[in-house]
Structure 1
Amino acid sequence: MSTDLSPVKPPETELLIITGMSGAGRTTAAHALEDHGWYVVENLPPALLGMLTELVSRTAGSIPKLAVVMDVRSKSFFPQLRESLAALTAAGVLFRVLFLEAGDDLLVRRFEQGRRPHPLQGSGRILDGISTEREVLHELKEAAEIVVDTTDMSVHDLNRAITELFSESGPIVLRLNVMSFGFKYGLPTDANYVADVRFIPNPHWVPELRPHTGLEREVSDYVLGATGAQEFISRYISALEPVFEGYRRENKHYATIAVGCTGGKHRSVATAVEIGHRLSQLPNVTVSVTHRDLGRE
């Protein structure tokens, strides 16, 4: 299906496209945006995206913030959406894509609890539909400016994340989430960058430090005082600074920096806190620090 858009003046309206895995929280995100003054259109077919945007652009900014929720209804979803997005770009329309992700187990559980089939499962299982959807959306996820993994989020957590990402005047300049994790529990799926701090001596093998965490002074001093730790942190942040400048040029507003050790209790926690503190000193940056595996055995 082709989309014919005559060139129009880029609208004053800020356009956000919300998409992602079915069951990952698109509706929750849409409601949160409505609470912040966005005009939200849900379940819009990709072929109508251009017409909606052109219509809004002719209303002289009466809708300053427009969010469009788009979900997969068929395997032809992405080719149609790609064509519509290309037409918007050619017409000079600026837009961003918010992609919501979640793990397979959680998505299956949500569909089972809701007693509804996945839109792409056909005669197969829910997991078959999820797998097909991942294939359909893979390229779109790779191109998205903002990817949020809701696997470990409650509804309130997702609402808070949307609030932090979008202020009164739109997305904040650059929001960084520094996340500690344990490699033995797997890589964070939404990490943009991963730092491995397993080269630092492990406090686990120091009896008096083992029961404590990287949030406590004695462990933090041990980790950050280890040979090479401070040099690593300084060089890592220096390497990221041109990346952040590139994000701003490319209109990207969110990144997750994952810092991993073996179990996510000592080294990664202390290092993530220190990296987060240093990054917060950079201009036009907002930083949060989370600890994915702290408390797990």
Structure 2
Amino acid sequence: MKKNDLEFLIITGMSGAGKTQAMNFFEDRGYFCIDNLPATLLSNFISLYFKSKGKIKKLAFVIDIRSWGFFEDFFEEIKNLRNNNINYKILFLDAKNEILLNRFNLTRRKHPLDVYNTLLKNIEEERRRLEDLRNMASIIIDTTNLTIKNLSEKLENEFKGEFTKKLSITFISFGFKYGIPIDLDMMYDVRFLPNPFYVESLKKKTGNDLEVQEYVMKAEESKEFFYKLQDMISFLIPHFEKERKSHLNIGIGCTGGKHRSVTFVNKLYDYFSGFGKYQIRISHRDINK
């Protein structure tokens, strides 16, 4: 068995964001799972695995703040995986602070970091410590508004047994008035463009309607920005692929998330779908608000 036949997944993220549910999901699908693995044991476990002649082909490890005493070695371990041609992915689960706070209050469990007197400060400190790891993630999933069932559906969509599938790109339209999605890899603001909201005949329509798209795109600044935007994203994609990213969330925001951002997301979908090289999805988060 070749090394690159191995499906090797690292599950990490914020405490209370759903790592246990994610591990259960993968265990039910034939992954050999280990919870709370010290980072320094990654390479040792891989060595033992190959000595066993690869009887287990899918591995998933949960590494999080509970292993913080070993965390400083995590990045060195990741480098070792790359040097040994181990095909790995990092799944990072996240949620907004207020949601994590509510989840801990409901379960009445102590935060695993436990360095401050208040739960919120421990959550904030954990987020600070995990920032570099979050930036390394192949896939980031925001569980703020997800039930356990929703999370399973999301994971099912992302992991279909194809560990080396094409780069998946999701273009997300949103309204700044409803908050910025926390699972974005990059974000662009189109509030400087002409707003159809102030045109009576377009106010109740959305960027899914041709009339709105034509109104937004007829402005010279819209055409120029779209050209620069597609050029920038096209430039960045190969670099994200080089860093083993498997999913990109690209947010386009306007004031309410109905007109300009929806128009641009639809245009970007049309443009990048034409290449056939990537899995392209769109999500209009606030279009019905």
User: Quick check: TM above 0.5?
Assistant: yes
Residue aligning to 2:25: 32
2:36 touches 2:66 (CA, 8 Å); kept in 1?
no
The 2-side partners of 1:81 and 1:250 are apart by: 16
The 1-side partners of 2:240 and 2:154 are apart by: 19
Residue aligning to 2:122: 129
The 2-side partners of 1:20 and 1:73 are apart by: 11
Q: How does 1:151-230 map to 2 (within 5 A)?
A: 151-230=144-223
Q: How does 1:60-71 map to 2 (within 5 A)?
A: 60-71=53-64
Query: TM-score if structure 1 supplies the norm length?
Result: 0.86
Secondary structure of residue in 2 paired with 1:16: strand
User: Aligned-pair distance for 1:32?
Assistant: 2.8
**Deviations 1:44-91 (CA, angstroms, capped at 9, x unpaired):** 232332222111122333222211112322642422434543454555
Secondary structure of residue in 2 paired with 1:153: coil
CA-based RMSD of the aligned residues comes to 2.4
2:171 touches 2:250 (CA, 8 Å); kept in 1?
yes
For this pair of structures, how many residues does the alignment match?
288
Residue aligning to 2:285: 292
Residue aligning to 2:98: 105
Question: Which range moves more in the overlay, 149-158 or 197-206?
Answer: 149-158
- Segments of 5+ residues of structure 2 without an aligned counterpart are none
Question: Which range moves more in the overlay, 79-88 or 23-32?
Answer: 79-88
2:65 corresponds, among 55, 65, 72, to 72
User: Aligned-pair distance for 1:134?
Assistant: 1.4
Residue aligning to 2:13: 20
1:261 equivalent to 2:254? Answer yes
The 2-side partners of 1:60 and 1:280 are apart by: 41
Residue aligning to 1:251: 244
Which residue identity lines up with residue 234 of structure 2 in the other structure? Answer: E
2:50 corresponds, among 51, 54, 57, to 57
Which residue identity lines up with residue 79 of structure 1 in the other structure? Answer: E
**Deviations 1:142-196 (CA, angstroms, capped at 9, x unpaired):** 2223222222333233222222222223142111110111223333322222222
